[in-house]
Amino acid sequence: MPKTHRRTLELVERARHAAAIRRADTGEPATWRDPYWATCAEACAHRLADILGITREHIVISPDPTRVDDGWVWPRLTVTDQGTAYEFIAANKDPHRLLCLGPCPECGNRVPLTPLRHLADLGELLEHRAGLRRPKPPLAQELVADPAHHSRCPFHRD
């Protein structure tokens, strides 16, 4: 019984928090106040949760104003584990196009680095970063021309 009571309080807390975030969305293009954006961002978070084998509550969704396509702001998904934040981004409107954010191999700025289709994709990226594995994991096509590249980066496009 006490466990059920605790879950109810979490529901109220989470619902009120979601309402506050939606009220605070005043940017253009709309994100949280656009029901389609919110639904799609949630679908991306659920897909990420499935891949990582975690529950949705462990993922924080935030609009990424750096990356906007045709009025669509890409959702950034953050998972914090033991003090380390792991960041992902959902390209376009596709929950099946999740990408790991990481430092560009040329300019070092934070960009969509590798596709994430399976937990092993993240594992290989982390092993590569730790110097435990070569070759490099395959780079995401979204890496090229990402707006976060330094203007002198070979991946930068005007």
φ/ψ of 75, rounded to 5, equals -80, 135
Euclidean distance between CA atoms 123 and 52, whole angstroms: 10
# residues near Zn ion by CB under 5 A: 6
Sheet with strand 98-103: strands edge to edge: 59-69, 72-81, 84-90, 98-103, 110-115
Which region among 16-24, 25-33, 46-54, 143-151 touches Zn ion (by CB under 5 A)?
143-151
User: Which residue reads 């792991």 in tokens?
Assistant: 86
Q: Do residues 44 and 79 lie in contact, with contact meaning Cβ atoms separated by under 8 Å?
A: no
Query: Quick one: 29 or 108, whose CB is closer to Zn ion?
Result: 108
DSSP 3-state assignment of 62?
A: strand
Q: How far is the CB of 52 from Zn ion (least distance, A)?
A: 26
Contact characters 89-128, Zn ion, x per CB under 5 A? ---------------x-xx---------------------
Residue 155 touches Zn ion, criterion: CB under 5 A:
yes
Residue 149 touches Zn ion, criterion: CB under 5 A:
yes
Give per-residue burial for 110-125: e unless 16+ CB within 10 Å, then b. bbbbbbbeeeebbebb
Residue 153 touches Zn ion, criterion: CB under 5 A:
yes
Q: How far is the CB of 154 from Zn ion (least distance, A)?
A: 7
Query: Quick one: 76 or 149, whose CB is closer to Zn ion?
Result: 149
Residues that bind Zn ion (CB under 5 A): 104, 106-107, 149, 153, 155
